[in-house]
Amino acid sequence: MKPQDFMEALGSVSQEKLDALAKWQNAKTPITGEAPAKGERITQTAAEPVSAARRRGTMKQKVKTKASAVQFLPWKFGIGVAVAACAAIAIIIGGGIISLDKQMQVGSNVGTSITEQIAESTTDEVNAVIIVQHEPVEIIEKLISSGGNDSTMMKLPPEGAVQVLRSVEDAEACCQYSDENVAGQPFDFRNKLTEDVFAEYDVLYFAFKDEQKPQYCYSVDLAGGSIAADGSTLKLDFHALMFEPAHLPSDWCSVTEPDWNTYYFYTVPKNTLPDLNAIELSFEEYPLGEIPDEILANPHENVGVTDDGKTIMALQEYLETTKEYLNWLNSVPKPKYITWAEDTPVPPEDCTEVQEISADTAQSKQYVKLMQEYYTQKTGIPCDYDFSGMGKDLDETIETDDASIHIKGMVGCDWTMFVFFDVEPLNLSPENTEHFSSKSFSNLSDNMCLDCGILDANGNPIHSFNQTCRTMPAQQSLDNGIFHCYSIINNHSDEAVTGGEKYLGIGKRNGSGVPEYEISIPLDCLQSTPLQESSLAAIVSTFIPDNSEQCYYPQQMTRCAVTPFGVYSVSDQFKTVQPEWAVSCFWLEIPLFKLKATPLITQNDANGSVIRSFDLDGLTCWGSTVTNDTGISFADFLFDRPYETTKGMLIIQ
Amino acid sequence: MTEDEKLLRLFQARDERALQAAEQQYGKLCRTMAYRILGDRQDAEECANDVLMKLWDTIPPVEPHSLTAFVSGITRNHALNILRAKNKAKRGGKQYDAALDELSPYLKSDEDLEDRLGTIALQDAINRFLETLPEETCMIFLARYYSMQPIKEIAAEHSSTVGRVQMILKRTKEKLRAYLKEEGLL
């Protein structure tokens, strides 16, 4: 059978199906994904609530990402690592601090590109999983919190209890913890766990024995929690206000009674938490200072019986003015969140998106190795930075009269893109062989340069079709007749590359910009690294010839993007009379006011200690780009090794 | 009364305004689908005109339940006929070729399906296979290989990603291959 036979036979599809197709196409019904057959791996849309997916049985694997992060985590092959995070980053330049108040969403589009990359794979074996994003769950409102004498009627197991209540029925079942055979007020809060509440929220319920709290604890407050690697254990963090035992009168009840329980009901956004079945408690202790005797006078009678509560009230009034108490109070975060266990890929079922990746795709991230090799050769220090999700493997060959060019991969972000390729010179004369075996690739690129740039949907170049092809930093000679090369594409504008239909163009263009040969590759793999508002003291002063006048345009850098490759900063737009102009100066000594001639660049921790320092890459540059009558100035700091955008502060001085 | 019902009334009344209304309502659909198969705008235009005349010839007596489905069916078959007649079956429109390329790894067989009996068996098997698919999967499969809608367009129109649609199609083609093998057609 030929595919044509199938296509023709498909024309006889039943009218019923065609009606349904027309209806489906007109309705533009969102694709939800089929329920998988038993044993089949599945995908789930990011929009679908986790628990809903679990209930309908579509989640086969889970891996989780750390809180607040957009991240890929390694699964079976250890292929992915955090590529992005929401981290507050501060840049200090020229002694000033520039805070990037908005969180860096470095990996915001990674899911899509990786997803598509993965999906494009046609291999049959599917045995790895990638996760995209996991948001922390806000603990919205405390509905009920209680303890004390009444709580003794709870039928609570010694290890405590936890449950995500999703309906009144769940709440009814939960309230079966009450032991109605015991005299007194039963543990029953069904009047607060109503249909109205469940229409809008789920309710996180947890309870534990008072003896699980630290001894001599006066009060606890929930600080947040996290879901453990097993996906079903809730780790709760409390801040505990502690008496010093020595300061506690001997007849004061220990505050923790063995029969008492503490229980909480918090509203949480619907369908954001997985089913939970175990809790672990941790208490961060905040010691109280010595309590004056007059405050604690005759405490046992008052506290235990609460007949007049004078001691409690006196203690409370006293505490409200003490530093220790206020420290404890202020230590409790508001709002509170349930996050997800950090750094550990967990086996089970909860994530906001699971995508499949083929074994071949997982193992063949050549672009990661190429980028690592680039930095390793650059500095001589092995680079293990994981560039997963920041590029794609390529396998394209261009044959010219002079060379065979094999394009192997690309890595990049909105502002800087690396393309890696091998050049095998053909028909080399002895002179040329000797020449090509030199360190420099410049003459080779003159002869058979490979222009690289970004094309729009119509194939028109929009960013840097240039000839910055170079051999890999450490290559000294032909490697079995091959030059291992790279090219850097710079986007020296203030418009991100991601977000539209763009292509990587590789080939050769004549002087008029017309391609003599060219391949174009969909750019669906780049990191989104948006410019953030900043108030850099730095100024780039660019010379632009305006109508033969010599004009300098000193511009303050007002926005910047911190990427694994460096820092790209731009000015606001300004007007010139020069319609088209671009100047890029590849000097390490960027004439930024208030900076040293060769800036000192470090990554510091919160205490100001230097984690690592960076040198500038020789392709660091500054300049201006003018389109029509509007220009921007830029300073493009490229680092000699990748920068961890999620850690500490970047200091340039 | 819906637009389709009004249009059907015009055809049934043999009112020539039916052609104009059909052109307005379904001209674009015809041309788009024909172009996906033929890869030539002029051919697609002619095909679309032919389809309108076929509608005139067939309604009445035919009373299609869904005009969209009916029009797309006629368009598809007619475009394939044109392609065959022009001996372009090897390389046609971009989407048609892409669809063939996508199906090729799953449907390649040494045996030709020349005889009429074989074609009927295949048609029957396809219809039965489609019945085994979940509704949404079936629609995606038909949108791609019946309507020859680009994957990107399917994803965009149905709030999904290209990767996801591709994955669904890939799985479905694997199932199709297995199904046709079982049926002895591969």
- DSSP states along A160-172: -EEEEE-SHHHHH
Check if the beta carbon of residue A462 is closer than 8 Å to that of residue A456: yes
| Cβ contact, residue pair B104, A15, below 8 Å | no
Check if the beta carbon of residue A551 is closer than 8 Å to that of residue A545: yes
| Cβ contact, residue pair B158, A31, below 8 Å | yes
Nearest CA in chain A to B163: A116
Chain B contacts of A56, Cβ < 8 Å?
Answer: none
Work out whether strand A233-242 and strand A278-287 pair parallel, antiparallel, or are unpaired.
parallel
pLDDT at residue A183 tops 50: no
Instruction: Grade residue A55 by pLDDT with cuts at 50, 70 and 90.
Output: very low
Check if the beta carbon of residue A267 is closer than 8 Å to that of residue A199: no
Q: By mean pLDDT, which of A201-215, A460-474, A515-529, A628-642 is the weakest? A: A460-474
| Cβ contact, residue pair B80, A8, below 8 Å | yes
Name which residue leads in pLDDT, B28 or A429.
Answer: B28
- Report pLDDT for B138: 92
Chain B contacts of A29, Cβ < 8 Å?
Answer: 136, 158
pLDDT at residue A591 tops 60: no
What is the predicted ipTM? Answer: 0.75
Region of A324 (left: φ > 0; alpha: ψ -120 to 50; beta: rest) is alpha
- Report pLDDT for B130: 92
Check if the beta carbon of residue A417 is closer than 8 Å to that of residue A488: yes
Q: Which of A23, A24, A119 minimises the CB distance to B167?
A: A119
Residues of chain A with pLDDT > 90: what percent?
5
Phi, psi for A10 (deg, rounded to 5): -65, -20
Chain B contacts of A43, Cβ < 8 Å?
Answer: 164, 167
CA–CA dist A617, A372 (Å, integer) = 15
Phi, psi for A406 (deg, rounded to 5): -110, 115
Residue B91, classed as helix, strand or coil, is coil
Token pair 């509203």: residue: A267
Which range of A429-438, A492-501, A639-648, B122-131 scores highest in mean pLDDT? It is B122-131
Q: By mean pLDDT, which of A2-16, A404-418, B90-104 is the weakest? A: B90-104
| Cβ contact, residue pair B105, A122, below 8 Å | yes
Mean pLDDT of A324-345: 73
Nearest CA in chain B to A123: B170
Q: How far is A160 from chain B (nearest CA, A)?
A: 42
> Tens of pLDDT along A70-93?
222 222 222 222 222 222 223 333
Structure tokens at B169: 């199609």
Mean pLDDT of A488-508: 82
- Report pLDDT for A311: 60
Chain A contacts of B162, Cβ < 8 Å?
Answer: 116, 119
Q: Which of A5, A20, A122 minimises the CB distance to B113?
A: A5
Instruction: Grade residue A537 by pLDDT with cuts at 50, 70 and 90.
Output: low
Q: Across the strands, what pairs with A582?
A: A625
Residue B39, amino acid? G
| Cβ contact, residue pair B130, A17, below 8 Å | yes
Q: How far is A100 from chain B (nearest CA, A)?
A: 31
Q: Which of B72, B74, B111, B161 to mutate to test the interface with A (most CBs of A within 10 A)?
A: B161
- Give, in order, the Cα–Cα distances in Å from A546 to each of A187, A550, A570, B184: 81, 6, 21, 76
pLDDT at residue A292 tops 80: no
The answer to pTM > 0.90 is: no
Mean pLDDT of chain A: 67
- Report pLDDT for A258: 63
- Give, in order, the Cα–Cα distances in Å from B182 to each of A149, B177, B185: 70, 9, 8
- Report pLDDT for B154: 87
Mean pLDDT of A634-643: 86
- Report pLDDT for A342: 46
Q: Which of A17, A28, A123, A524 to mutate to test the interface with B (most CBs of B within 10 A)?
A: A17
Residue A467, classed as helix, strand or coil, is coil
| Cβ contact, residue pair A119, B158, below 8 Å | no
Region of A326 (left: φ > 0; alpha: ψ -120 to 50; beta: rest) is alpha
Chain A contacts of B145, Cβ < 8 Å?
Answer: 6-7, 10
pLDDT at residue A609 tops 70: yes
Q: Which residues contact B169 (CB under 8 A, 6 or more apart)?
A: B102, B140, B141, B144, B151
Residues of chain A with pLDDT > 70: what percent?
56
Q: Which of B122, B129, B175, B177 to mutate to test the interface with A (most CBs of A within 10 A)?
A: B122
Name which residue leads in pLDDT, B121 or A282.
Answer: A282
CA–CA dist A549, A444 (Å, integer) = 37
Q: Which residues contact B136 (CB under 8 A, 6 or more apart)?
A: A24, A29, A31, A32, A33, A34
Residue A291, classed as helix, strand or coil, is coil
**Strand (E) or helix (H) holding B75:** helix B67-85
Q: Across the strands, what pairs with A96?
A: A93
Phi, psi for A3 (deg, rounded to 5): -55, -30
Check if the beta carbon of residue A18 is closer than 8 Å to that of residue B64: no
Residue A331, amino acid? S
Check if the beta carbon of residue B160 is closer than 8 Å to that of residue A114: no
Cis peptide preceding A299, ω within 30 of 0: no
Nearest CA in chain A to B149: A25
Q: Using CB atoms within 10 A of its CB, is residue A246 exposed (0-12), middle (13-18) or buried (19+)?
A: exposed
Q: Which of A3, A29, A115 minimises the CB distance to B158?
A: A29
pLDDT at residue A101 tops 50: no
Check if the beta carbon of residue A261 is closer than 8 Å to that of residue A156: yes
Q: Which of A34, A58, A112 to mutate to test the interface with B (most CBs of B within 10 A)?
A: A34
- Report pLDDT for A90: 31
Which range of A203-207, A556-560, B97-101 scores highest in mean pLDDT? It is A203-207
Chain A contacts of B123, Cβ < 8 Å?
Answer: 9, 12
- Report pLDDT for B94: 66
Check if the beta carbon of residue A637 is closer than 8 Å to that of residue A566: yes
> Tens of pLDDT along A234-270?
999 998 888 777 666 555 554 455 667 788 899 988 8
Mean pLDDT of chain B: 81
Region of A549 (left: φ > 0; alpha: ψ -120 to 50; beta: rest) is beta
| Cβ contact, residue pair A13, B130, below 8 Å | yes
Chain B contacts of A18, Cβ < 8 Å?
Answer: 66, 69-70, 72-73, 142, 146
Chain B contacts of A24, Cβ < 8 Å?
Answer: 136, 139, 143
Residue A66, classed as helix, strand or coil, is coil
Check if the beta carbon of residue A42 is closer than 8 Å to that of residue A129: no
> Tens of pLDDT along A367-419?
999 999 999 888 888 888 888 888 988 888 777 666 778 889 999 998 889 98
CA–CA dist A608, A597 (Å, integer) = 23
- Report pLDDT for A466: 61
Chain A contacts of B186, Cβ < 8 Å?
Answer: 1
Q: What is the CA radius of gyration of chain B?
A: 18
| Cβ contact, residue pair B72, A18, below 8 Å | yes
> Tens of pLDDT along B146-180?
888 888 888 888 877 776 777 788 778 888 988 88
Say what the alpha-carbon torsion angle B143, B144, B148, B154 is, to the nearest 10 degrees.
70
Cis peptide preceding A136, ω within 30 of 0: no
Check if the beta carbon of residue A489 is closer than 8 Å to that of residue A463: yes
Angle of helix B135-145 relative to helix B94-107, nearest 10 degrees? 120
Helices and strands of chain B, counted as H and E runs: 9, 0
Mean pLDDT of A177-188: 51
Nearest CA in chain B to A120: B163
Mean pLDDT of B116-133: 83
Residue B57, amino acid? D
- Report pLDDT for B140: 92
DSSP A219-259: EEEEEEEEE-TTSSEEEEEEEEEE--GGGS-TTS--S--TT
Q: Which of A7, A8, A14 minimises the CB distance to B127?
A: A14
| Cβ contact, residue pair A120, B166, below 8 Å | yes
Token pair 């504008």: residue: A493
Residue A449, classed as helix, strand or coil, is coil
- Report pLDDT for A15: 80
DSSP A524-575: --PBB---EE-----EEEEEEEETTEEEEEEEEEEEEEEETTEEEEEE--EE
CA–CA dist A642, A530 (Å, integer) = 18
Q: By mean pLDDT, which of A118-122, A617-621, A641-645 is the weakest? A: A118-122
pLDDT at residue A552 tops 90: no
Mean pLDDT of A599-628: 76
Q: Across the strands, what pairs with A263?
A: A146, A207
Q: Which of B130, B136, B142 minimises the CB distance to A34?
A: B136
> Tens of pLDDT along A133-146?
356 788 888 887 77
Residue A52, classed as helix, strand or coil, is helix
Q: Which of B96, B99, B164 minimises the CB distance to A119?
A: B164
Residue A479, amino acid? D
